[in-house]
Amino acid sequence: MKGLPYFCRGEVIRGFGRGSKELGIPTANFPDSVVDHLPADVSTGIYYGWACVDNGDIHKMVMSIGWNPYYKNTKKSMETHVIHTFKEDFYGQILSVVMVGYIRPERSYDSLEALISAINNDIEEAKARLEVPEHMKLKEDNFFTASGSTSKSTGSTIMNGH
């Protein structure tokens, strides 16, 4: 996809509440203002990249973009799993992400266990893919250090390239 890497930022909102409770894999959800501004060439599926909450540390992440066929969502969503254990929820805080690459299309699963297994495989694949030098350098991008320029009151900032 020629639109990658893709940089975006927005306030973390409450999603369906399934990530932590049902799947054991917490996700941070972007508001419609971020989802609706995705470039046309960013298709639905599973992505990997880097994420930062407010001005905190930068961590590896996987993101699902789409309708989550297993749950038959009617609204497109962007759900980010930051590969890090946080002590508490961060609703209302600003999540900055850079989507680096694409793992696979979204698909439905016959069982919750199959979905959880697929997500865990995506996480392992993301961890490995992000170790290559060209992806590691994006972790140091000034997009993350400039995150203070977007306040919670302004909603979201969308950046594609610099």
User: Which residue numbers are catalytic?
Assistant: 79
* Beta bridge mates, 101: 48
Instruction: Give every CB contact of residue 27 below 8 A, 6+ residues apart in sequence.
Output: 15, 19, 20, 64, 79, 80, 81
